[in-house]
Structure 1
Amino acid sequence: MEDVLRPIYQERASQSNTLGILLLEKMKPISPVTDNFDVILFIIVRDAEELWYVKHYEFNNKSAAMHIVDETLLQHWIDTSSYRRSVEWVINGTIVFERNEYVSHLKENLREFPQKTRDLKKAIEFAKLIRSYSESKDLYDSGQYLDSYSRMVHSLHYLARLAIIEKGFHPEVTVWNQVKRIEPEIYKLYQELIESGEPTDKRIQLMILAVEHSVSKRSRASARHLLTLMNEREEPWSFGELKVHPEIQEYILDLSSMIEYLVDKGVLNVILQETKGPQIFHRTYKPAAD
């Protein structure tokens, strides 16, 4: 298969802004990792006119997808897990071309999983988890059990991804297969939710308690990215100041619920500041002492 595709990628390899080319073949009939194409040709470039260019091919009853991605967009995907397939393509793909060992260094960096990147990913998953879990509890309390069940499934998924990152791994597309090996306790929670013979409301009730315990013990470590940023100055932060901070943009939509949860758990302190109105105060936030 590589021989058939060689003329395509050799043309790209000859271009000076091409940093590396990887090839990943489909290994089983149903392959989410390759979007069910027989082969993925993943080309990393620098200073691309189009950040992400995709082209599909067919040959000898086989299919191929070529993805040409600018290195800045790829790094964004890696840092935020916003396109998980790309991480798997880099980790598991075969290098067919690289300039100055670019792809080899990228693979090594992914294996090492630097702490700064890990903290950002944990914060993103933790913020999503808090939002989803809070919605599930609210729906349960209002008797909307099927909707609560749906949000709880999402909550467990975020919890699973968070646990994988904690162990130093990048979450894959097949996240539950990873969790079964890495964090079997969370995998058992998922099994209990979807396979138990208990009524739906009872299953959700048990999950609310279990997830609350699991989330609570992870709160400070999972919020390290936010807490580290907030500790960069002595003054407390208003929500508006945090909202526009460039390093928080990847979880900005879930920041409000995350902050309220951290306040409730004593991880953040609320500092009241006077306004011009009597008995009305601005709420600002400061990390509590460990």
Structure 2
Amino acid sequence: MEDLLRPIYQERASHRNTLGILMVEKKINNSAITDTFDIILLVIGKEIPDSVFMKHYMSKEQKAALYIVDEKQLNEWLLLGSNRKVIDWVLNGKVLFDRNEYVQQLRNRMMEFPQETRQLKMGLEFAKLIRRYTDGKVFFESNQLLDAYNHVIHALHHLARLAVIEQGFYPEVTVWNQIKQIDGQIYKLYEELVGSEEPLEKRLELLFLASEFLIHSRILSGSAHLRKILKQKDEPWSISEIAQHPELKPYSVDLVIMLEYLVEKNILSVEKVATKSPHIFHRYYQLKDKE
């Protein structure tokens, strides 16, 4: 089918705003990578009117999908991890067109994984981990075991992604294959949760105990990005100042739960700031240790 698609990607390659074109073929053992399509064509461009544009094609029994993605949208996906298949496509796809080595340079940046980008991604995963772990514990304590199980599975996934990033790698779609090589302790927890014959309540109880230690051991790495921002001034921060800081906006709805966790673990202190009412105070946040 690649021959049939050649005129399509050659036409895209002739556009001045096309930076690179990659092709991804369906894997026999993992068709989810391509959403069950036989071939994916990923066209990366700049200044594209629609941040993502798609077309679907078919020939006899085969089907193909064309994605035209603006580089700003692509970089957002890579940073936030919000479209994990694209990471696989960029790293492992066959390069059909590469203007001024754009794709090669993009891959090099991903492989080098600069410390600044890594810190932010660890912070985002840590915030999501705290959200899922906290919500799961609430469900567990109220005996909503299936909801607790759902949140714990997601919490383990974020813990696994955090561990992968700590080692300097981008988390891939098959993150459990990565974590099996990187952190056997997390992998064993996952296996015990999904494969153990113990009653669900017992499995969850044991997992919450083990997870508490693993999460606590990653407080400093997981909060490094946030702490670096909070060090920018000596005075306490209001929640509005924190939430509106441009480098913290990616945390979105998970920011508050992360702040409260860090207060609970004595990483942050809560400062009372007077309001017009003598009995009500603003709640401000400050790092306890600024070293």
Q: Specify if TM > 0.5.
A: yes
1:56 and 1:66 in contact (8 A); partners too: yes
* Structure 2 equivalent of residue 165 of structure 1: 165
Aligned-residue offset at 1:29? 5.3
1:32 and 1:173 in contact (8 A); partners too: no
- More displaced 10-residue stretch of structure 1: 14-23 or 244-253: 244-253
TM-score normalized by structure 2? 0.96
Identity of paired residues, percent?
Answer: 49
**Equivalent pairs, count:** 290
Residue 230 of structure 1 aligns with an amino acid whose one-letter code is L
In 2, Cα distance between equivalents of 1:283 and 1:217: 27
* Structure 1 equivalent of residue 84 of structure 2: 84
Question: Following TM superposition, where does structure 1 have runs of at least 4 consecutive aligned residues deviating by more than 3 angstroms?
Answer: none
Residue 113 of structure 2 aligns with an amino acid whose one-letter code is F
2:175 paired with 1:175: yes
Report the secondary structure of 1:282's partner residue: strand
* Structure 2 equivalent of residue 62 of structure 1: 62
Aligned-residue offset at 1:30? 4.1
Q: Measured at CA, do residues 276 and 255 of structure 1 come closer, stay the same or move farther in structure 2, by a change above 3 Å? A: same
2:16 paired with 1:16: yes
* Structure 1 equivalent of residue 133 of structure 2: 133
Give the alignment's Cα RMSD to 1 decimal.
Answer: 1.3
* Structure 2 equivalent of residue 255 of structure 1: 255
Aligned-residue offset at 1:237? 0.6
Q: After superposition, give the CA deviation of every residue in 1:39-71 in whole Å (9 maximum; x if it has no partner).
A: 111100011111100111112421111100001
Equivalences for residues 1-290 of structure 1 within 5 A: 1-28=1-28, 30-289=30-289, 290=291
In 2, Cα distance between equivalents of 1:269 and 1:243: 17
Residue 210 of structure 1 aligns with an amino acid whose one-letter code is A
Aligned-residue offset at 1:230? 1.0
Residue 146 of structure 1 aligns with an amino acid whose one-letter code is L
1:270 and 1:283 in contact (8 A); partners too: yes
Residue 102 of structure 1 aligns with an amino acid whose one-letter code is Y
In 2, Cα distance between equivalents of 1:145 and 1:243: 33
In 2, Cα distance between equivalents of 1:199 and 1:88: 36
2:27 and 2:33 in contact (8 A); partners too: no
1:21 and 1:43 in contact (8 A); partners too: yes
